[in-house]
A and B are shown apart, each in its own frame.
Chain A
Amino acid sequence: KQEVTQIPAALSVPEGENLVLNCSFTDSAIYNLQWFRQDPGKGLTSLLLIQSSQREQTSGRLNASLDKSSGRSTLYIAASQPGDSATYLCAETGTGTASKLTFGTGTRLQVTL
């Protein structure tokens, strides 16, 4: 069974700080990796998707990287804002299981004023 781990479980940073969220996965045949954002009481919103052939993806202040050899992905948030406060989840899809995402348990981020 594939496992996805996110550390830390919670993180608090002051506004304006750059930060990195970590995601580790055990699947050696990863198809892609996604980062999602979840606000309290809401569903998940897809932020970035990295195919296995890619090393990184960028969207605005967000940058996600993928290192298959080490089984790691990072989500970099530049110049954090209070509106970035949410839970961030990563999810991997294995080759041959294109429809099955295995989610991490998330990192709860709080950006303080």
Chain B
Amino acid sequence: DAGVIQSPRHEVTEMGQEVTLRCKPISGHDYLFWYRQTMMRGLELLIYFNNNVPIDDSGMPEDRFSAKMPNASFSTLKIQPSEPRDSAVYFCASSLSYRGYPDEKLFFGSGTQLSVL
């Protein structure tokens, strides 16, 4: 398996523009997580899905952020409008479920480095 695949690897945009980040989880994994990593705040969980359904989006910073998972093999994280403070590395991760909980071992993608000018 190719692992968790994220695109694009780098995104540079101007303030106010819409940004869409994409993720393909490992086939068969039924949990998908979006994390954001910054120097100041470290890694933060934004939202996670189970079987394509959003379970907890309490980490989504503002209404400007939205995430979807239309099917088991694809998810998007959208920021509209983008702001300079959104600049960070955004990671997608997936895992198997086990006894109703995620099989705690997470598999991370390589991330998208977002720069909002």
Contacts and interface: CB of A to CB of B under 8 A. Distances in A.
Interface of B is mostly: strand
A91 B93 CA distance: 14
Contacts of A45: 108
Interface string B41-76: 011110010100001100000000000000000000
Interface residues of A, number: 20
Interface of B: 4, 31, 33, 42-45, 48, 50, 55-56, 91, 93, 101-102, 104-111
B43 A103 contact: yes
A44 B91 CA distance: 9
A98 B42 contact: no
A105 B42 contact: yes
Contacts of B109: 43
Nearest to B31: A99
Which A-B residue pairs are the 7 nearest by beta carbons? A43-B108, A98-B101, A103-B43, A105-B42, A44-B108, A46-B105, A43-B110
A101 B105 contact: no
B104 A32 contact: yes
B4 A43 contact: yes
B42 A43 contact: no
